Amino acid sequence: MENQNLYILLDVIFRNGSVKRLARKGVDYNEIAIQTQNAIKNDLVSYDDQRVILTFKGVELLKQLEITYKKTKKEEWIEKDEKNRLDKNRREKNFIFVPRQTELTF
Amino acid sequence: MNPTTFARLYSIFNAKRWHDKEMHEVVFTNFCELLGNLNEKQQDLLLELAERYTWLTFAEYQGRLVHIFNTIIPEEEITNLSKIILFPVMKPKDEEKTKSGHGVLIILRGIRPFFTRYNHLNFQEVETFEHLESPFDLSNTERIFLLDDFLGTGDTIRTTIEKLLINPNITIEKIRVITVASHQQAVTYMDSIGVRYYTEIVTRKEISDYYTSPELEEKTAIMKEIEKLLPSKKYSFGYGLSEGLITLYRTPNNTFPIFWQDYEKNDKKYKAPFPRY
């Protein structure tokens, strides 16, 4: 697993976030499972049937990887919602756009 | 889905050795997608159900059938027999189709020469009802074995048996039902008419028969919420409200549909863990 993806995996575990974050980056769920197992073997993560958490070693590695991979500029971590952008000819003055409720996705 | 839920799912796959099965990667991915589309209570219920879920591949039928024929069927049942007629469970209107019972028939064709307990008798495959209509007769040493991989509500086995019994020469004592798995509803029917059956697995209603009040009401309500993701309520809680948790070479529609029916969330379509189509 690339270091950047390992960083995301550790960060997701640290924050108890969603593993979808990795899936959205194109990492297959089966690969995420294998890498989680590797992280457990390497004593970065512990799983005691109650909770998956980072070990001390895992937290240390996360801090280290954070220096390189944490996105601090908002342009990097906020993605433009291109699919909901209005096309040019609908952006003229006085154009009022009322979205259909069923078409809103977040 | 948080990492703990993800790890729980992976542990279930490991404990059940599902990672050894063909297509486990697709099933695991679809399962993850499904859990990711549910809230925590819903995830908990699906994981509980997954722990009690049975997944048998077509390759596993052989071992199960060998066990039924060599171990489960008692010696006294076969010692005095001269012939066994093998017939797939099916409705008369489905005679032209290939049903799951035909699959079992084919598997048996390959493995029955290895059944040493049956060396003294003949097997005969029959695939049409017409062949078993009067004047067809069965001697006291002949039996009809009805074959299928799974019996759900019992509708199909009832139709098959009723059709056979139109012939006065065939009696319920000369019929046996052999299945890899049977749902409790079908078992209850077979008990009620007194037909002998041999099966490896008996499944039950996995919410109604498993939980007691107040958990029962709570889990039922959660499943109803989960089923709102499905395009229709046609198979709500499984065909005939069977509440099944089983996948054979194909998942029967008696299984909770969230496990086999494609669903939609936020205008995006998703495949079920064990898709039927």
CB B219 within 8 A of CB B211: yes
Answer yes or no: is pLDDT of B10 > 70: yes
ipTM reported for the complex, 2 dp: 0.80
pLDDT of residue A102: 66
Band of residue A101 on the pLDDT scale cut at 50, 70, 90: low
Answer yes or no: is pLDDT of A106 > 60: no
pLDDT in tens, B46-94: 999 999 999 998 888 888 999 999 989 988 889 989 999 999 999 988 8
d(CA B185, CA B203): 9
pLDDT in tens, B172-196: 999 999 999 999 999 999 999 999 9
Answer yes or no: is pLDDT of B230 > 60: yes
The two beta strands, A45-47 and A52-54, are: antiparallel
Indicate the pTM of the whole model.
0.85
Which residue carries 């952006």 as its tokens?
Answer: A91
Beta bridge partners of B83: B122, B142
Answer yes or no: is pLDDT of A1 > 70: no
Q: At what angle do helices B40-51 and B24-36 cross, to 10 degrees?
A: 150
pLDDT in tens, B107-157: 999 998 888 899 899 999 999 999 999 999 999 999 999 999 999 999 999
pLDDT in tens, B204-219: 999 999 999 999 999 9
Cβ contacts of B6 on chain A, cutoff 8 Å: 19, 29, 32-33, 36, 52
DSSP H helices in chain A: 3-15, 20-24, 29-41, 56-69, 74-77
For B271, the token pair is: 């495949």
pLDDT of residue A72: 62
pLDDT in tens, B231-247: 999 999 999 999 999 99
Answer yes or no: is pLDDT of B254 > 60: yes
Answer yes or no: is pLDDT of B25 > 60: yes
Q: Please tell me the distance in Å from B262's CA to the nearest CA on chain A.
A: 19
Is the CA virtual torsion B244, B246, B249, B251 positive or negative? positive
d(CA B45, CA B227): 12
Which 8-state DSSP code applies to residue B261?
S
pLDDT of residue A73: 63
Mutation target to probe the B interface, by most B beta carbons within 10 A, among A12, A19, A21 is A19
pLDDT in tens, A41-90: 999 999 886 789 999 999 999 999 988 877 666 666 666 777 677 777 67
CB B237 within 8 A of CB B247: no
pLDDT of residue B105: 94
Long-range (24+ apart) CB contacts under 8 A made by B105-112 are B105/B147, B107/B61, B107/B62, B107/B65, B108/B65, B108/B147, B110/B62, B111/B62, B111/B65, B111/B66, B112/B69
Answer yes or no: is pLDDT of A96 > 80: no
Cβ contacts of B36 on chain A, cutoff 8 Å: 18-20, 23
For B126, the token pair is: 């029959």
Answer yes or no: is pLDDT of A34 > 70: yes
Higher pLDDT, B49 or A98: B49
pLDDT of residue A105: 58
Band of residue B257 on the pLDDT scale cut at 50, 70, 90: very high
Higher pLDDT, A94 or A6: A6
User: Is the peptide bond prior to B88 cis by the omega test (within 30 degrees of 0)?
Assistant: no
Q: Which residues of B touch A (CB under 8 A)?
A: 1-4, 6-7, 10-11, 25, 28-29, 32-33, 36, 266-267
Q: Please tell me the distance in Å from A74's CA to the nearest CA on chain B.
A: 24
d(CA B129, CA B108): 20
Cβ contacts of A33 on chain B, cutoff 8 Å: 6, 10, 28
Q: Which residues contact B64 (CB under 8 A, 6 or more apart)?
A: B56, B180, B200
Band of residue A95 on the pLDDT scale cut at 50, 70, 90: confident
Residue type for B158, please?
Answer: R
CB A5 within 8 A of CB A18: no
